[in-house]
Structure 1
Amino acid sequence: MRLIIVRHGETDWTLTGRYTGGTDLALTAKGRTQAAALAPVLANVLRGRDPVVVTSPRQRAIQTITLALPGHQMDIDPLVAEFDYGDYEGLTGEHIRRRAPGWDIWRDGCPHGESTPDVGTRADRLLAGVVPDGTQPLVVVTHGHFSRILAARAIGLAPKYGRLFASTTASVSLVEDHDSERCLGLCNADSGLLQNSTHGPTLQSGWTAESLSAAGDRPTTRHKIFATWKNQVSLAHSLVLADAATRAVSEAEGLFELSVCPSMTALASVADT
């Protein structure tokens, strides 16, 4: 499997932190620029292979992939729409917690909307329906919460562990198979993480050790994250990455077993200077 998860670019509501489910907002001017800038990121991850593209029906997702992969055929699928926020649509987290102190979307879901397991069921239906063939990369263009839950389900974690995976606007994450292991190959990378060098653009990752240690409840199952880099990243920096990640893993109560794979080319969180 090579599953490439793309979150749409900026909208007016992402700027203000308002929960945006079914509200059909367009990208801002900056969001359109972000989306177009994803083209070299996707080219790097796709490695010349022609993908199947599935997008949310919302115009912010369709605009994003139209700019990031211009002219490419796409399938519009409501399975990859955002979390239905129900009564909390259009509100910020601060406003919601005034109504419901202590509210946690991962635990509590949204009244008259979806629960986190509901969204996980949609992710499972997508994975069961389009991933098993595996002959082409799959690009899924979606939204913040759904992208996080999809990443969790793709590596076998319960939907609530989507909280482990950051997803900023106009970002790319990758789940892939390596040595018969399903791995998180890239997380939350954007165009700002393309480093120009004598060897051309190098894809860096938005993954950080801190994102592992910021999680809530942990499962007992162990999974592997394969931290990888291109040759522009020094061995010293790679060791710094491994050390930081190892410390974060320890703090995360053994959820992840870290494996550093120099032969792969997808993930690095530090750049050579």
Structure 2
Amino acid sequence: MAESRPMPRLFIVRHGETEWRHTGLSDIPLTERGKEQILASAPQFVGDGLLLDPKNICTALVSPRQRAHTTFHLLFQHIGTLPNHVLTEEVAEWNYGDYEGLKPAEIKALNPGWKIWDDGCPGGESVQEMQDRVDAVIKKVREYHRQYKEEGANTRDVLIVAHGHFSRVLISRWIQFPLCLGTHFNVEPGSLAILSYNHNSLAEPALNGLNIAAKLK
């Protein structure tokens, strides 16, 4: 019975720490601290009976940038197996276009009034393009969830390993807010967010947890 199945979830992991710049397409590595963040969280959150239980993960969508797929591999390396996954540009970072590789102060010098949430990225993705891409990902995830909840197909959860702006947009759109309200969600490097539903209803998407992470010493 659909009513007896626990509600499906979408887990979002932001990759670990990198050098702080606007890096959408640039393929930069994790810092050593970034690797430590993920390795500290992995045994607490990944494994049998834990939040990220591989037997519950229907699929994982992983950004092709090395900082994301390295994060994905580090999360699961202690259990020796990876869940079903695909590297896909669907969950890549916002394409920053002309601002790729620049620090915030450098962008401010070029365009003092720029706000990505309102203006998008010249030479990259507009606000509408970013919203359309994220909405398409949400539609795909919700179909996995519908099949599980209503038909007993697949397994319970979906995992996305991606980036800061992408994750903030996804959270905002998941709970049916305008994209621009993503500015109010702080998504820390190496952290886990949980999206699901209220009242046992797939029609009531909800934010269940944000910035879940192990504390580094």
The reply to whether TM is greater than 0.5 is: yes
Q: Would you say 1:38 and 2:38 are equivalent positions? A: no
Q: Would you say 1:53 and 2:39 are equivalent positions? A: no
Q: Distance in 2 between matches of 1:42 and 1:143?
A: 19
Q: Would you say 1:22 and 2:25 are equivalent positions? A: yes
1:47 shift after superposition: 5.7
TM-score (norm 1): 0.65
TM-score (norm 2): 0.81
Distance 1:47 1:178, change over 3 A: farther
Q: Can you give the 5+ residue segments of structure 2 that lack an aligned partner in the other structure?
A: 1-7, 149-155
Q: Is the 8 A contact 1:24 1:58 kept in 2?
A: yes
1:133 shift after superposition: 2.3
1:108 shift after superposition: 1.0
In the other structure, the counterpart of 1:183 is 206
Looking at both structures, which has the greater relative contact order when contacts are Cα pairs under 8 Å and sequence separation is at least 6? 2
Q: Is the 8 A contact 1:37 1:68 kept in 2?
A: no
Q: Can you give the 5+ residue segments of structure 1 that lack an aligned partner in the other structure?
A: 194-273
Of 89, 94, 104, 1:93 maps to 104
Q: Is the 8 A contact 2:168 2:185 kept in 1?
A: yes
- Describe the superposition over 1:126-181 as per-residue Cα deviations: whole angstroms up to 9, x where unpaired: 11123322132111000000000011111111211111211111011111113123
Q: Distance in 1 between matches of 2:61 and 2:54?
A: 18
Q: Distance in 2 between matches of 1:62 and 1:86?
A: 22
Q: Would you say 1:7 and 2:14 are equivalent positions? A: yes
In the other structure, the counterpart of 1:271 is none
In the other structure, the counterpart of 2:4 is none
- Bigger-Rg structure (1/2): 1
Q: Is the 8 A contact 1:131 1:138 kept in 2?
A: no
- Give % identity: 38
Q: Distance in 1 between matches of 2:35 and 2:209?
A: 23
- Describe the superposition over 1:207-242 as per-residue Cα deviations: whole angstroms up to 9, x where unpaired: xxxxxxxxxxxxxxxxxxxxxxxxxxxxxxxxxxxx
Between Structure 1 and Structure 2, how many residues are aligned? 189
Q: Would you say 1:155 and 2:159 are equivalent positions? A: no
Q: Distance in 1 between matches of 2:53 and 2:72?
A: 17
Q: Would you say 1:109 and 2:113 are equivalent positions? A: no
Of 83, 88, 110, 2:94 maps to 83
Q: Is the 8 A contact 2:12 2:162 kept in 1?
A: yes
Moved over 2 A (4+): 41-50
In the other structure, the counterpart of 1:138 is 158
Q: Distance in 1 between matches of 2:27 and 2:190?
A: 17
Q: What aligned pairs does 1:211-230 form with structure 2 within 5 A after superposition?
A: none
